[in-house]
Amino acid sequence: MVGDTAKKRRKQPEPRAGRKSSATTFFSWANPQPNISVNSAESEILRDQKILPIISGIQAGSPAEKKQHLIAACSIIEDPICRKLLLKQHIIQIILDKVLADSSQEVVTAGWALLNKIVLYEGYDISLHLYRKGIFSQITGAITTIKSGVFALATQPKSLSPSDQTLLWDYTSSVLSLLTKLSETTKEILDRVSNEDVLLLASALLGLKIGGHKISVPENVQIAAVILLDRVTDQNSIAYDLLVKDPGFVGNLMRIYTAKVEDAPLKIAATCSTLHNVISQSLALADDLAEDNKIADARLIAPLTAIIQAILSKQSPSQEEQQALFLSLETLSDVADCTVETFGHNAPGNTNGIQRKTPGDRSSPHSDLDMEDDDLLEGEDEDEDEDDEENEEDFQEDDDDDDENASDEELPDDLGADMAMVTGEEGTTARASKKKPFDSPELEFLLVATIPAVLPIATSTSSSEPERNIKLTTISLLSAIARAFALLCSKTHKCKFTLSQSLQQSYLPSTHEIWNILITPILCSNSADLKLAEKITELASHITAFTPSVSVSNNQHKSFLALYNATASIPLKVLCVKVLSNLARCQGTDRIEVNKELGTFFMTTVNKLPFYGDAEPADLPAPEVIIECLNAVYDVYDDVDNDYDEEVFVKLGFLKYLKSFVGRLRAMAKKVDRRTRFELRESADEALINLTEFIKYKTAEREEI
């Protein structure tokens, strides 16, 4: 029996939601922290000679001495041993109880700087500790002090001396940066940060005027403010509701993101990311903010891509520039993901703030990228008074003309055959699936500008952990773009629109290039990097979903089979099966042997399911893998007219094996606990139903022949 004095277990806090990584993610890559012990003789000497004098100096002496010791503490925080020793001497409690309550503003400012730096290195645990210690009572007072100081500076510039102004801005930067880190821990803390005083202050600091008076806010303070806004607005309706009440909020962001990227890459990247958050929230709520302010994700792609190009042009970019690169890549990736969610909304009129063009109206894929914002605004208003029904009729007529004029002869032979598969028997996916062709400015801009800009990063050789992670993030971006194209061209995707044939044709060469210069070399390298393998296989699954006819001349399919056998990761095995399934759908006499090899793999994998009464084999695949292999069989051999159906499915007797799977698959499904693995059990039950129906279908198919 547990004693009365036993402590109750603290409830685990709910993590905050968000589509993008933490603002400190790149910093943690560049500054990995080793696990160290401070229980050594050397640590004791360091404590006595260096740490204890600092702790003593912070608590006693004149304001100048306190400040000096706080600066000294700040200078050694990077050292993990010194930092751990300072924490063991209760530096956090000393700052909270004494330093932040000091009568000297210089001491208080130095205290906030030290606290901010400790949290930067220590992360989640210290942030949670600070919250539980009541840090927000001090933050509330700090925000009040900052607002008073900034207003005084704006209304009476001479009321603060240059040194006092520097002190004010240092104080502001530290508090805002600390709030950013706190906001990324739990939902409860995020909600506390999402208050009117904090958010409207951050928004005001991005402007040229405060209270109607001109003010010049230092660059580092604006960066701290916009990064805070970026992180707080990520999937946060509370922050959105507060910020949209500020009439200058969107205008300030739009003014910043159109500046020269070379001057402030991180500020512009964070601004674009914030705008993207706002656009996403506006579309999710179906309000008029995005449309009224003429803001759209399509407009963010050019400056974000320009940031990437500018940083890549430098031989030794700074850590801040690398952070801007990472944030730009992540934001573009989320733009691609959101394109799938919002595709076709409000068609055929003004969608996402950009006037959609019919395929026949495109004079150049570069046209919108080269426009200035004023030109874009003018172009958006030209057709606003047209009747929606008339627009839709014209839209369809133009697209039909475009489809009739499009020809595979315009493509190289290998891509022409590929395009025939992508667009279906009747010439376009739209006709075959009764979906209406529709353009996507976001995907068009990503295709024209972003893919060429980021491919050098994805194909580069990494020499450090930050470079490796930047490469992985770039592959994720390419994967998000590939996923968007694959889904929006899929007949099974639940949307009444599909990408226009001309946009599909424009993307097709890029898929082959990505497959040949990025995916294939990594496959052939047999890298032991599991994360890289996962990223590249996910990318390959989307590329091959769009175009199964990519080259297998280097036995790429065998490499995926080898990866499947080598990895213990079930998700990676499933991804490998997805890629192999897509590759198996390619027709042509030169691909029948490949189909035979892959079809045999699918059937052999499922055939490892034991019969009733037999012991489970040691290499029994996971249910997720079995289900994916069966899905592959259904997808690959769904049509008797496929040139490989007779040669592979019929001659190798796949139907007989499928019939033998029914009882074994039922037994597998029953072993999946519905209470603990509900989704997997649902998938297993669905696979069983599909198996019986597929057997009936293929049996009837043979009888008709």
pLDDT cut 70: percent of the chain above it: 85
Q: What confidence tier does 504 reach under pLDDT thresholds 50, 70, 90?
A: very high
How many independent structural domains does the chain possess?
2
Lowest-confidence pick of 175-184, 187-196, 481-490, 525-534: 525-534
Same domain, 351 and 453: yes
Answer whether residue 82 is part of any domain.
Answer: no
Same domain, 675 and 571: yes
Answer whether residue 492 is part of any domain.
Answer: yes
Q: Residue 401 and residue 393: Cα distance in Å, rounded? A: 12
> pLDDT tens, 605-642?
999 999 988 999 999 999 999 999 999 999 999 999 99
Longest dimension (CA), the chain: 98
Domain boundary pick from 524, 551, 578: 551
Question: What are the Cα distances from residue 553, in Å, to 28, 114, 565, 682?
Answer: 41, 58, 21, 38
Which pLDDT score, from 0 to 100, does residue 286 have?
86
> pLDDT tens, 217-265?
999 999 999 999 999 999 999 999 999 989 999 999 999 988 888 889 9
Q: What confidence tier does 346 reach under pLDDT thresholds 50, 70, 90?
A: low
Q: What confidence tier does 601 reach under pLDDT thresholds 50, 70, 90?
A: very high
> pLDDT tens, 535-571?
999 999 999 999 999 999 999 999 999 999 999 999 9
Answer whether residue 381 is part of any domain.
Answer: no
Answer whether residue 257 is part of any domain.
Answer: no
Answer whether residue 667 is part of any domain.
Answer: yes
- Identify whether the C-beta of residue 97 lies closer than 8 Å to the C-beta of residue 130: no
Q: What is the mean pLDDT of residues 449-463?
A: 94
Domain boundary pick from 522, 551, 580: 551
Answer whether residue 175 is part of any domain.
Answer: no
Residue 205 token pair = 């600091």
According to DSSP, the β-strands at 354-355 and 350-351 are: antiparallel
Is-cis flag, bond preceding 348, omega within 30? yes
Q: Residue 359 and residue 201: Cα distance in Å, rounded? A: 45
Same domain, 351 and 467: yes
Same domain, 517 and 662: no
Torsion of CA 317, 370, 206, 165, to 10 degrees: 50
Which pLDDT score, from 0 to 100, does residue 462 have?
86
Tell me what the pLDDT averaged over the chain comes to.
85
Which pLDDT score, from 0 to 100, does residue 389 have?
42
Answer whether residue 378 is part of any domain.
Answer: no
Same domain, 397 and 436: yes
Give the amino acid at 102: D
Q: What is the mean pLDDT of residues 378-401?
A: 41
Q: What confidence tier does 417 reach under pLDDT thresholds 50, 70, 90?
A: very low
Answer whether residue 212 is part of any domain.
Answer: no
Give the amino acid at 341: E
Q: Residue 203 and residue 252: Cα distance in Å, rounded? A: 8
Same domain, 498 and 351: yes
Q: Could you tell me which residues come within 8 angstroms of residue 317 by beta carbon, excluding any fewer than 6 positions away?
A: 311, 325
Same domain, 538 and 406: yes
Q: Residue 211 and residue 417: Cα distance in Å, rounded? A: 64
DSSP of 84-105, one letter per residue? HHHHHTTHHHHIIIIITT-S-H
Is the pLDDT at 394 greater than 60? The verdict is no
Same domain, 597 and 537: no
Which range marks the domain in which residue 475 is found?
A: 339-372+393-551
Q: What confidence tier does 648 reach under pLDDT thresholds 50, 70, 90?
A: very high
Which pLDDT score, from 0 to 100, does residue 705 have?
65
Which pLDDT score, from 0 to 100, does residue 38 have?
80
More confident residue, 496 or 601: 601
Q: What confidence tier does 15 reach under pLDDT thresholds 50, 70, 90?
A: confident
Q: What confidence tier does 463 reach under pLDDT thresholds 50, 70, 90?
A: confident
